[in-house]
Structure 1
Amino acid sequence: MERYEAQKLKEQLAGFARELAERHGVVVPQAQAQAPQTGPAVSAAEVVRAPTLAIGLAPQPGGGYGIAVRYRLGVPRARSIVRRVEAEAGPAVDVRRTGRIRPIADLGPRPPAPAAQSAGETGRVRPLRPGVSIGHVDVTAGTLGAFVTRRGLTGPALYALSNYHVLAGSPEARPGDVVLQPGPADGGDYPEDRVGALSEVVRLDPDEASWTDAALARLDDVAVEYEYPVGRVTKTARAMGGELVEKVGRTTALTRGRVTAIELDDVIVGYEDLGALSFDDQIEIEGLGGEPFSRGGDSGALVYREDGVALGLLFAGSETGGRAGKGLTYANPIDAVLEVLGIELAGETASARR
C-alpha cells in the first residue's frame, strides 16, 4: 500500500479496535502497566481502558506499507481482539506482542556491560558528551541525548536534552532543580557533580494523548564535546520505516537497530508517578542480531540514522516481545520534540534540515 492508503486503513482499524474493546468490556489494571502481574489486586477505580492495542504503519520488504499491530501479552481477551483486527487488516499486517512498556529509566538502570564502562557512559565525564549518565538530583539515572540551543536566541546558553523522567522525574520537580552528571544511581553527588539545572519539561497529562517525553537542563559553564560515534549530528528527518539506526546510551552504549514501525498511536506506557499514559505518532525500533536496542538507563538517548541524521528521542521500551523476544524500543519523533520545546540541535540551522 501507498502511505496515504495505509494511514486511512490505520484510522479505520483503530476505530474498529475501540468498538471491539468497548463491546467486550476489556480492561487493564493500571498497576499492571507498572508492576509485575503477580502484584496485589487493584480496585475498579484503578483500571484504564484497553486492549492497549497500538496501531501504526509497518514498512514492507518490497516497498510500501502495511499495518503494524502491537499488543501486550497477558491482557484479558486482547488476543481475540487482535485476531479480529488482523483479519480486517488483510495480508499486509505485522502483528507483534510487546510485553509491558515502561519508561526505559523505570526498567531500573542495569549495571553496564564492560564495553560501556570503558567508554565512560556511567562515570563522571568531562567534557560532557552525548550518551553519558545524567539525572535530576532525585532521579536514578538516564542518558544525555543531545546538546541544544533555543531558536532565535543568541548568547552562550546551551541545554542538555533528555526525557521528563530523567531530568525531572516527578510532578514535584521545578525549574532550577539540580541536574547531576553522572546521575545519582551512578554515584553522582551534589555539589561536585552538578552540571546544570532543570529548565523546562513537556507536560504529560494522563487524561490526554501525549507525543513527547522530553525535558531540558540549562548547562552551567562546563565544557562539552558534540561528537557521536558517527560524528556530529545536526540534521533531522522524519522516520519513514526500515531505516538502520544507532544510539549511544548510559547502559548499553552503542547499539544498532532497525525502525520496524512508524506513526504508532495509542502506545500505552506505565509511569510510576503518572500512571498509564497513551502516546501517539511514535517510532518503534528493534535491535539487530537478536540483541536489545536499549535497556534501563538508556532513556533520553538520541536515535539517528547511520548517516548521522537524527530521527527520534528514545523514551520507553519493553524487556520482552518483538521477533527476537528481547523487547522493543520506542522513540518520540525528534522534530516533534524540537518543535514543542522551541529548540534545535546545537549547531543546526534551518537550511541544514531535510
Structure 2
Amino acid sequence: MTLMDLAEARRVKDQLHGFARELAERYGAVTASAVGTGAEEGATPSDAVRAPTLSLGLAPAEGGGYVVAVRYRLGVPAARAVVRKVTAEAGEAADVRRTGRIRTLSDARPRPPVVSARALGETGRSRPLRPGVSVANVAVTAGTLGAFVTDDAGPYVLSNWHVLAGSRDAAAGDVVVQPGPADGGTAPGDRIGTLARWAPLAAGEHHRVDAALALLDDGVGVGVDATYPVGRVTTTAEAQGGEAVAKVGRTTSLTRGRVSAIELDDVVVGYGDELGVLSFDGQIEVEATGPGPFSRGGDSGALVYREDGVALGLLFAGSETGGPDGSGLTYVNPIDAVLEALGVTLA
C-alpha cells in the first residue's frame, strides 16, 4: 500500500472529490430507480435524493502516513460501481468501508432498543451535574451532557442541536431538563437551564457542526462536577488520526476507541422527517477498540477526548455498520469548530 504524508493525502483526496461527484451524478438516477423498486432493504425515497452517497477523508495507516478513506452508504449496484471506480483511481492508497445509513444519536431507542433500565450510563437525576449524564430539551428524548463551557454571560451545558433544540421551532429560552424526558425528566422539577444558542442546520447546505448551548439556571452551575475519568478536560487539539480516545455517554457510559478517519467530507446524516438528510464536512470518525460499539442512541453530545485528557470533538452520529466487529462507526464534530461556532471555551 502506498502511504502518503498529510499534505499529499489531502491533495489526492481533493482530486478524487470532483471525480467522485461526477460519477455520483452519472449513477444517481440509476440508484434512485433501484431505491424506488426496493432494491435495498429499508431504502426510502429520501435515500434516492443523495444516492449514491460517498464520503472521502483521510485514514491513518499502520507504520505512519495516510491513505484516502472512502466511505459509502448504499449497497445497490450503482453505489458499488462508483466506489470501485474511485478506489481504482486512488490506487492502493484507499481504506474502503460501507457504513450503511448514518443517523443522529439522540434517540433513546436504537437497534436493539435501549431503555433507561438497560443503559449503562447515567440516566437518572444527577446533582451536581457532570459530563456524561442524560440531558435534553423538554420536547426531545434524551442525549448526553458533553461538557461545561463558558463566556462572559456565564456557564453553559454543551451538547448537540438535536439534543438541546431538536426542532426548527425551538427558540432561545426553551426549557432544558436533566435527565432527558426519555429518562423521566420533566419541567419544572428537573429543569437545569434554557436553550441559549446553537449552530444553525438547514437542508441543502453543508455543515461543520451540530452543536448547541443551554444556559444554566442560577444556582445550578454552582458546584458542578466537571471531571471525566481522565480528570478535567480543558484543552483541545486537532485530530491527526490514530489517536486512542474515550467518551462518557448517557447510554454506553465509558467506551474507548480509535480515530479511524479525519477530514471526512460529504458525510450524509439522517435527521428524520423535519430536516431529512444533512451533509457534514471535515468530520472525525471513531471505531471502537473494546467490545461493542463506541456509541449508541442517547450518546449524542458526548465529548470525545484523548487518553491524555485533551478534547478532540463532539459526538453526534453513528452508522449501521463499518466498525471492526460490524457494530458501526461514530461521527464527531471537531471540537475547535464547535467552540468557535458557539463563541465559548471549555470551562
TM-score, normalised with respect to structure 1: 0.89
Which AA in structure 2 matches 1:99? G
Q: What corresponds to 2:9 in structure 1?
A: 6
Letter in 2 for 1:181: Q
Counterpart-to-counterpart distance in 2, 1:107 and 1:16? 39
Alpha carbons 2:119, 2:250 under 8 Å: kept: no
How big is the shift at 1:50? 2.6
- Stretches of structure 1 that go unaligned for 5 or more consecutive residues are 347-354
Query: Structure 2: how far apart are the matches of 1:226 and 1:25?
Result: 47
Superposed CA RMSD: 2.0
Partner of 1:89: 90
Q: Determine the structure 2 residue equivalent to 1:199.
A: 196
Provide, for residues 105-155 of structure 1, a one-character-per-residue CA deviation record: whole Å limited to 9, x for no partner.
1473623576825xxx100000000000000000000000000001xx2x6
- In 2, distance between residues paired with 1:202 and 1:333? 14
Q: Deviation of residue 28 (structure 1)?
A: 6.2
2:75 matched to which residue of 1? 74
Using the aligned pairs only, state the percent identity.
67
Pick from 210, 215, 229: which aligns with 2:212? 215
- How far has the Cα of 1:91 moved from its partner? 1.1
Counterpart for residue 240 of structure 1 = 240
Residues 1:253 and 1:24: Cα distance change in structure 2 (over 3 Å)? same
**Take 1:25 and 1:187, find their aligned partners in 2: how far apart are those partners?**
44
Q: Which residue of 2 aligns with 1:351?
A: none
Match for residue 24 of structure 1 among 10, 23, 27: 27
Q: In the alignment, residue 252 of structure 1 is paired with which amino acid?
A: T
Letter in 2 for 1:175: A
Map Cα deviations across residues 153-211 of structure 1 (whole Å, 9 max, x no partner). Answer: 2x6x1000000000001000000000000000000011100000000011012121000
Length-normalised TM-score, structure 2: 0.91
Cα displacement (A) at 1:291 = 1.9
Retained in 2: the 8 A contact 1:140–1:185? yes
Checking the alignment, whether the CA contact within 8 Å between 1:182 and 1:193 is kept in structure 2 is yes
Per-residue CA distance 1:282-307 (angstroms, 9 max, x = gap): 00000113420000000000000000
Q: Which runs of 5+ in 2 are unaligned?
A: none
Find the residue that maps to 2:163 and give its secondary structure: helix
Give the match for residue 101 of structure 1.
102
Question: What one-letter code is carried by the residue in structure 2 that aligns with 1:116?
Answer: L
Deviations 1:2-23 (A, max 9, x none): 1111001101111111111122
CA distance in 2 between partners of 1:40 and 1:62 (Å): 39
Aligned to 1:228: 228
Pairing of 1:88-237 with structure 2 (within 5 A): 88-106=89-107, 108=109, 110-111=114-115, 116=120, 121-150=122-151, 153=152, 157-220=154-217, 221-222=219-220, 223=222, 224-237=224-237
Contact 1:130 1:226 in 2 (8 A): yes
Which residue in the other structure is 2:255 paired with? 255
Number of residues of Structure 1 aligned to a counterpart in Structure 2: 332
* Structure 2 SS opposite 1:91: coil
Q: After the TM superposition, which segments of 4 or more aligned residues of structure 1 sit over 4 Å from their partners?
A: 26-29, 37-41, 112-115
| Structure 1 contact 255–293 (Cα < 8 Å) conserved | yes
Give secondary structure in 1 for the equivalent of 2:130: coil
The code of the aligned residue for 2:239 comes to: A
- Greater CA deviation, 254-263 or 100-109? 100-109
Match of 2:270 in 1: 270
How many Å separate the matches in 1 of 2:30 and 2:195?
37
8 Å CA contact 1:69, 1:94 repeated in 2: yes
Instruction: Mark the CA change 1:209 to 1:125 in structure 2 (over 3 Å): closer, same or farther.
Output: same
Q: Alpha carbons of 1:134 and 1:41: their partners in 2 closer, same or farther (altered >3 Å)?
A: closer
Q: Secondary structure of 1:10's match?
A: helix
Q: Structure 1 residues 256, 203: closer, same or farther in 2, change over 3 A?
A: same
Distance 1:13 1:40, change over 3 A: closer
Q: Could you tell me whether the CA contact under 8 Å between 2:158 and 2:214 is conserved in 1?
A: yes
Change (3 A) 1:90 1:275: same
**Post-superposition offset of 1:76:** 4.9
Letter of the structure 2 residue corresponding to residue 172 of structure 1? D
Give the AA of the match of 2:175: V
Deviation digits for residues 239-259 of structure 1, max 9, x if unmatched? 000000000000000000000
1:297 corresponds in structure 2 to: 298
Q: Is the alpha carbon distance of 1:114 and 1:185 closer, same or farther for their aligned partners in structure 2, counting shifts above 3 Å? A: closer
